[in-house]
């Protein structure tokens, strides 16, 4: 089985950062069940935000599952489609998704509203994680926003895990278990 961890923080891998620790805990659970886990760090992927091309807010994405911007989006989408399960980890910024996660999901949502773009997306078991590493506020709100957008895209959100600085240690233990459980999910 192949899984992909898509992070809206630079801090993934090497146990660094709080989002990184949360993402790596889930990855460790998957890997303990012999799942091959890929990692994508969105702030390094050169994904622009949507340009809202026309006066009506649409672009070519109104008529076909394509975006006019030639950047890192297609590569990430390809890796997401290739994976059988997906994990989205975002740090909580102002109670919301990080900018890189928002830019990616905003554009993915537009191209995923077409039948042709559904294979590899629709029904894919997906877990969302929101890490509030400051005061700790906003993790529940952010995880709900993340879950809502992932669902609109067509992914099957099988779990949402709000994490805050104060419960990071216990949530990492939980995320490891979630990873092991996810490894046993039937794939779409
Ligand atoms: C612009 C910005 C806004 C933030 N807003 C919040 C917030 O609303 N609640 C919170 O607990 N932490 C907040 N933080 C702290 C981040 O959640 C924290 O830096 C992040 O979870 C740490 O993860 P990382 O080290 O993996 O990036 C904010 C940080 C930044 C940079």
CA 176 to chain centre: 17
Span from the CA of 161 to the centroid of ligand 1 (angstroms): 16
pLDDT one-digit tens code per residue, 95-153: 999 999 999 999 999 999 888 888 999 999 999 999 999 999 999 999 999 999 999 99
Span from the CA of 157 to the centroid of ligand 1 (angstroms): 23
| Ligand 1 surroundings by CB, under 6 angstroms | 9, 11, 17-20, 91-95, 131-138
pLDDT at 15: 59
Residue nearest to atom 5 of ligand 1 (CA): 93
Give the pairing type, strands 85-91 and 156-164.
Answer: unpaired
- For 129, phi and psi rounded to 5 degrees? -130, 130
pLDDT one-digit tens code per residue, 141-175: 999 999 999 999 999 999 999 999 999 999 999 99
Q: Which domains are assigned to the chain?
A: 2-183 (3.40.50.360)
Span from the CA of 85 to the centroid of ligand 1 (angstroms): 26
pLDDT at 122: 95
| Residue 7 Cα: closest atom of ligand 1 | 26
Q: Decide: residue 60, CB within 10 A, 0-12 exposed, 13-18 middle, 19+ buried.
A: middle
């Amino acid at each position: 089985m192949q899984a992909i961890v898509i992070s809206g923080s630079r801090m993934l891998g090497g146990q660094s950062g709080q989002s990184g620790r949360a993402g790596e805990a889930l990855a460790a659970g998957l890997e303990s069940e012999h799942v091959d886990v890929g990692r994508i760090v969105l702030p390094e992927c050169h994904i622009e935000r949507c340009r809202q091309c026309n006066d009506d807010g649409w672009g070519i994405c109104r008529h076909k599952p394509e975006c006019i911007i030639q950047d890192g989006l297609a590569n990430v989408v390809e890796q997401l489609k290739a994976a059988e399960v997906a994990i989205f980890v975002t740090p909580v910024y102002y109670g919301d998704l990080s900018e890189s996660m928002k830019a990616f999901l905003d554009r993915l949502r537009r191209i995923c509203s077409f039948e042709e773009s559904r294979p590899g997306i629709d029904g894919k078991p997906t877990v969302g994680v929101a890490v509030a590493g400051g005061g700790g506020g906003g993790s529940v709100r952010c995880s709900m926003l993340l879950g809502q957008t992932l669902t609109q895209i067509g992914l099957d959100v099988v779990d949402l895990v709000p994490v805050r600085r104060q419960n990071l240690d216990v949530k990492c233990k939980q995320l490891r278990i979630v990873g092991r459980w996810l490894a046993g999910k039937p794939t779409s």
